[in-house]
Amino acid sequence: MHAAPVQRLITELGKLPGIGPRTAQRLAFHILRSEPADAAALADAIREVKERIGFCEVCFNLAEGPRCEICLDERRDTSLICVVEVPGDVIPIERTHEFRGRYHVLGGALSPIDGVDPDDLRIAELYARVAGPPPPSPAVREVVLATNPTTTGEATALHIARGLHERASEVVVTRLASGLPVGADLEYADEVTLGKALMGRRAL
């Protein structure tokens, strides 16, 4: 139906998450209609990000260089580590301006049905960070498990919590609270969400 270069572009765009065949075709036609300079800028941006961006050697967040900006920031609390599944999860937490510690990016979540086991994630690296360097470097005092509130995210959090309790019982392991969003009505809350809110209740 299309010339070979066009079909190749559609095929490659269709490999992106959330992009179906029709959306891929619309994107391809948009690129064809755009100015050559705009299309070249897009191609250059893709090439540059693949060449220059890698993973931080400490937390495995995206980084331009050996370490990411957060790990290079000496103002951050090194004794507090927030564990997330993927680099994109760091962004919404940073937007809150409530967390001043460091991060650890697992690279996914446990999912035996999909063949994702503990060895496929950066869990061992987390345990090594918690074990920490010798004094006078500050020891890790708390690990916040901020994996997604999904079946795989919960399983990952429980697995890591057990491992941390076995290896470093003095470290406090916490989990992000789940429950009712701000502005929500109890009438429209499902049983699971309301149950999580009850379990995570706090004193005022």
Domains assigned to the chain:
4-52 (1.10.8.420), 75-175 (3.40.1360.10)
> CB of 68 within 8 A of CB of 56?
yes
Q: Among 43-52, 139-148, 190-199, whose mean pLDDT is lowest?
A: 190-199
What is the spatial distance between Cα 43 and Cα 144, in angstroms, rounded to a whole number? 38
Task: Using CB atoms within 10 Å of the CB of residue 164, give its burial: 0 to 12 exposed, 13 to 18 middle, 19+ buried.
Answer: buried
What is the spatial distance between Cα 162 and Cα 124, in angstroms, rounded to a whole number? 13
Strand segments (E) across the chain: 54-55, 62-63, 77-84, 101-105, 142-145, 172-175
Helices (H), 111-168: 123-131, 151-167
User: Which of the two residues, 1 and 96, has the higher pLDDT score?
Assistant: 96
29, 103, 106, 153, 156 from 116: Cα distances, Å: 37, 21, 12, 12, 11
Q: pLDDT for 112-148, tens place per residue?
A: 899 999 999 999 999 999 987 666 567 899 999 999 9
Give the number of other Cβ atoms within 10 Å of residue 18's Cβ: 5
Task: Using CB atoms within 10 Å of the CB of residue 86, give its burial: 0 to 12 exposed, 13 to 18 middle, 19+ buried.
Answer: middle
Tokens of 179: 């429950």
Nearest to 102 by CA among 134, 136, 65, 63: 63
What is the spatial distance between Cα 162 and Cα 181, in angstroms, rounded to a whole number? 29
Q: pLDDT for 9-43, tens place per residue?
A: 999 999 999 999 999 999 999 999 999 999 999 99
